[in-house]
Amino acid sequence: MTFHLRLADDNSVAQPALTMPEKDIHKYSRGHALVVSGPVLKTGASRLAARAALAVGAGLVTLVGDRSALQEHAAHVTAIMLKEFDPGHDPLDERVKAVAIGPGAGVTPVTQNNVLRLLQSGIPIVLDADALTVFAENNHILFNILKSFDVMTPHKGEFARLFPDLADEEAIPAALAAARRAGCVVLLKGPHTVIADPSGKWAVNKHASPWLATAGSGDILTGLICGLLAQGVNSFDAAAIAAWLHGDIGVRAGPGLTADAMPEFIPLVLQGCLQED
């Protein structure tokens, strides 16, 4: 499957185009996404991200963590692989194409070490939630190691912790300045989500719904980005496309939407983007 970002004249994200995969495609050519689990009592967020990465088209998704966390995951998932793994020490499988870390990770030295180690892997890393907050007091360490193909997805509070001097700026100039400073793609979540990269490229997603304001919604967005990156979509496009897809889930689902239900809407959203031959 191939995703194509489309922008309107005002740089707002339009419905992306999705083309059918080649007939000889297999799971490894569709990309392997890895999601780092939180500890045993905080596994839900990473599991939501992993489910979204799989539903958006990654050929394989692996949740990694310690044995106690994986035992909890095993009671909830079947199509997602589980592996004992210490991202702070163990080498990544060479077939892994993208990693997501942060949802439910905990604001701890372990999380900080895991992030720094993963950022040296040379593959795109999606940083969300605790993977951002853990650098609030030493953001320069993070900014010095981020690469242009990495993606951070802060909401307003997380953004203010990392970029306190930009917190009161309008969203577009704030995201652009943050992307230049951090050296990576920044997706600044809000009613109109802004995506910016270090080169000055930007887009805004206006296709969304207030029904997305529910616990775990951001974890779904993280998984969507990771799943697209695993399929070879470039980082800016992956973030922008994921923002639109995430918004469309909210538009389609409406009242009563919960994060647990969101992955079930992803096939319907993708079907709406599919281009006929």
191 annotated ligand binder: yes
Is 2 among the annotated ligand-binding positions? no
Written as six digits, the tokens of 102 are 């942060």
Token couple for 105: 């990770």
In DSSP terms, 186 is beta-bridged to 152, 196
Q: Establish whether 193 is an annotated binding residue.
A: yes
* Residue 130, annotated as binding a ligand: no
On whether 168 is known to bind a ligand per the annotation, the reply is no
Burial 14-41 (b: 16+ CB within 10 A, else e): bebebeeeeeeeeeeebbbbbbbbbbee
Strand bridging mode 32-36 / 60-65: parallel
> Per the structure block, which two tokens stand in for 40?
């045993």
125 pairs with which residues across the strands?
99
Half-sphere exposure of 33 toward its Cβ, with a 13 Å CA cutoff?
35
Q: 246 a known binding residue?
A: no
| Beta-carbon count within 10 A of 83 CB | 13
Give the closest residue to 91 by CA, choosing from 124, 117, 127. Answer: 117
What does the chain come to in residues?
Answer: 277
Q: Which residues are known binding-site members?
A: 45, 104, 155, 189-193, 218-219
Q: Which residues are known binding-site members for (6S)-NADPHX?
A: 45, 104, 155, 219
Q: Which residues are known binding-site members for AMP?
A: 189-193, 218
